[in-house]
Amino acid sequence: MADGTMTAPGVSGSAKPAGDAMLAVQNLQAWYGESHILHGITFNVAAGEVVTLLGRNGAGKTSTLKSIMGIIGKRTGSIRFDGHDISRASSDKIARLGVAYCPEERGIFASLDVRENLMLPPEVRSGGLSLDQIFTLFPNLKERLRSQGTKLSGGEQQMLAIARILRTGARFLMLDEPTEGLAPVIIEQIGRTIARLKSEGFTILLVEQNFRFAATLADRFYVVEHGKIIDGFASSELQANMDKLHAYLGV
Amino acid sequence: MSINLQALSAQLLVGLINGSFYALLSLGLAVIFGMLNIINFAHGAVYMMGAFCAYFLLNIFGIGYWPALIIAPVLVGIFGMVMERTMLKWLAGLDNLYGLLLTFGLALIIQGVFQNYFGSSGLPYAIPDELQGGINLGFMFLPIYRGWVIVCSLVVCLATWYLIERTRLGAYLRAATENPTLVRAFGINVPRMITLTYGLGVGLAALAGVLSAPINQVRPLMGADLIIVVFAVVVIGGMGSIMGSIVTGFALGVIEGLTKYFYPEASNTVVFVLMVLVLLVKPTGLTGRAV
């Protein structure tokens, strides 16, 4: 490493969020059955921020989101969201506190049409996007309302997966690799959407392999490796950390 | 061979009646299997409990057929939900063989208890006054009660189909059948939904039990005899398809009736022969998805 000043996990000066943390994860450990996959994840996300978890395949990014959502086998450590301890809560309770989750595999239901998929997640707060606002954001969906959910293209399915959690009124979104396997023009549209959501005050925790995509959106980055946060920096420090980052991600 | 229209339509009617029960029961099995991944072998026992419930309501509390049509399915449905909460719940995530064994054991216990107190012979349950008598349709005589059973079962089946395929609640159910984890992560209380679904399936069986009480009498083993055929129906129609189980239920009842007319010797086996044929050609059943 060129500069040799490796920052302590998640605590380097500018890697701290500006205000109070909306989400604070401390020493999170998680298991799938017998296998220990997260080994002490510590990071936080402030209200209004876009924070990206970077890392190679299998580093533990998706497992981190799943642990926050409460849909992993077993977890220990502390997870605080909006003043609530959610480390032992069931996933439906966590969702009703205002955490919205868009899984990597998108989770579009084959036995539901597009409208039903869109209307599926119940409202957890008032002030969610109306259908009109959603159709302004994603005009494609309006034309496909009667189609079977899984008959949509990959890009449309991703839009649907994001759109349906915007309806719920949740202000904290966890998006797992929203650009995976999509065409550049669709990635651009999703990027614009995330930027717009940010400008409207949504807090977003993003998992991305596509570093170029994340670089344009995120306020801060954390690097996940072997189930731990090994580094973190703000987007203003991005240029200075480029070499390190290339080494972490192996790109 | 000349066709005796009167005898043929009489057998068709019997077929439709049996089909009504097949449809109500296999529909409940399909709903339960979709949501709980449990092959509910207690289905025949709860069908019998529905009939007994109507019998008790009448003979102990003086509550007649019409209220029993609602009360018995609700009570037996609640019994089912208690069963789910206290026992079936713990089998979530295990191979469905465990659920099959547990529900089979429960069925034996329930039937054994009823047999202990009521023996094996049938207890009478009268057709309600409003549905006595029959109508001469010209080509056949239709007892009103039998017509009512067919219509009632058809209406309930279609209403259940509508509830599951066309409403928001049904969308929750379909989605949770596909991916319960994600549906729960959207804030929906999936465990409660599972309990209610089991209650719904069991309630449908109990309703079939009440409907059959005036036709078949009330017997502890009435469900055990029926459920074997119903499972064959489910296998033919395919587990997990709502409309599939309704259509297959009625169709197989009719096929059985026709067989009784044209080749009575085969009437008890025709359903199983069809089951074998369907399994050879399409192992997931006519409308089923792979399990």
- A71 contact B CB<8A: yes
Q: For position B201, what pLDDT does the model report?
A: 96
Whether B272 is covered by a domain: the verdict is no
Identify whether A219 is part of a domain.
Answer: yes
pLDDT average, residue stretch B16-31: 94
Question: Which of A91, A115, A123, A150 is best to mutate for the B interface (most B CBs within 10 A)?
Answer: A91
Q: Strand A35-46 to strand A21-32: parallel, antiparallel, or no bridges (unpaired)?
A: antiparallel
Residue B11 lies in a domain: no
Quick one: pLDDT band at residue B34, thresholds 50, 70, 90?
Answer: confident
Query: For residue A122, which residues of chain B lie inside 8 Å, CB to CB?
Result: 186-188
CB contact under 8 A, A69 and B183: no
Q: Which residue has the higher pLDDT, A8 or A229?
A: A229
% of chain A residues with pLDDT over 70: 92
The confidence score (pLDDT) of residue A8 equals: 41
ipTM of the complex: 0.89
Q: What is the pTM of this model?
A: 0.88
Q: Kindly state whether residue B24 falls inside one of the protein's structural domains.
A: yes
Chain B interface includes A103 (CB < 8 A): yes
B24, B69 in Cβ contact below 8 A? no
In a domain, B208, yes or no: yes
Q: Is residue A106 part of a domain?
A: no
Q: At a CB cut-off of 8 Å and minimum separation 6, what does B33 contact?
A: B39, B40, B239, B240
- Chain A residue with Cα closest to B240: A111
Task: Concatenate the DSSP letters of all residues of A148-181 into one string.
Answer: BGGGS-HHHHHHHHHHHHHTT--SEEEEE-TTTT
CB atoms within 10 A of CB A186: 19
- Nearest residue in chain B measured CA to CA from A125: B187
How many structural domains are present in chain A? 1
Please give, rounded to a whole number of angstroms, the shortest distance from the CA of B189 to a CA of chain A.
6
pLDDT of the residue at A13: 41
* Contact residues on chain B for A103, CB-CB shorter than 8 A: 182
* Interface size, chain A vs chain B, as Cβ–Cβ contacts under 8 Å: 61
Looking at residue B284, its amino acid is T
Are the beta carbons of A109 and B179 separated by less than 8 Å?
yes
**Domain containing A233 — which CATH number?**
3.40.50.300
Give the domain extent around B134.
Answer: 18-222
pLDDT of residue B1: 60
Q: Are residues B200 and B77 in contact, defined by beta-carbon separation less than 8 angstroms?
A: yes
How many structural domains comprise chain B? 1
Main-chain dihedrals φ then ψ at residue B169, nearest 5 degrees: -60, -40
Decide if A165 contacts A129 (C-beta within 8 A): no
Q: A96 in helix, strand or coil?
A: helix
Cβ separation of A119 and B171 shorter than 8 Å?
A: yes
Q: Is residue B186 part of a domain?
A: yes
CA distance A202 to chain B (A): 17
HSE (side-chain half, CA atoms, 13 Å) at A22: 20
Is the pLDDT at B290 greater than 60? The verdict is: no
List the one residue out of A246, A90, A81, A71 whose CA is nearest residue A170: A81
> Residue A87: its pLDDT value, please?
94
Cα A76 to chain center, whole Å?
A: 20
